[in-house]
Amino acid sequence: IVFIDEIDAFLRERKDNEQEATQSMKAEFMAMWDGIQSDEGAHVIVIGATNRPWAIDKAILRRMPRAFLIDVPGKEERRDILGRLLRDEVVEEGLDLDYLARHTEGYSGSDLKELCRASLLAPVQDLMGDEAAGRGGGELGPVSPR
């Protein structure tokens, strides 16, 4: 199995002003792919992931006969993802994951991870700001919605 994440960045639609090295790399990749597909003994599956399927070169799309939509998580999935991401963290007592899940519609798993990462840094930033303002001596607070 060959998995290419962000395949649109690697194999985007060809343009006239594209650099020769990029054109050559794409041509070589497609030639190798054709060789794999024509070899009956080769059991190779190529999978590509993208957020921009319209940007992928049409010649590549012809070699990938199936497309699957992996949509963003629903409310329950977002709640589960947030719960897993925050499971081992110090968070405000009573943090309402259902509330967070309701207000993160359209967020991907990666978006939720970044939201949690930024939220986990907020107490550190608050503490550093307090110390810089001469209000030091405080403790690191829990993560809480703002």
Per-residue pLDDT reduced to its tens digit, 76-113 = 999 999 999 999 988 888 889 999 999 999 999 999 99
Question: Quick check: is 34 in a domain?
Answer: yes
Question: Quick check: is 51 in a domain?
Answer: yes
Regarding pTM above 0.85, the answer is no
Number of domains within the chain: 2
Domain residues for the domain of 19 are 2-63
Helices (H), the chain: 7-10, 20-38, 58-63, 75-86, 97-102, 109-132
Q: What CATH number is attached to the domain comprising 83?
A: 1.10.8.60
pLDDT tens profile 52-65? 889 998 888 888 88
Q: Which residue has the tokens 């007592």?
A: 93
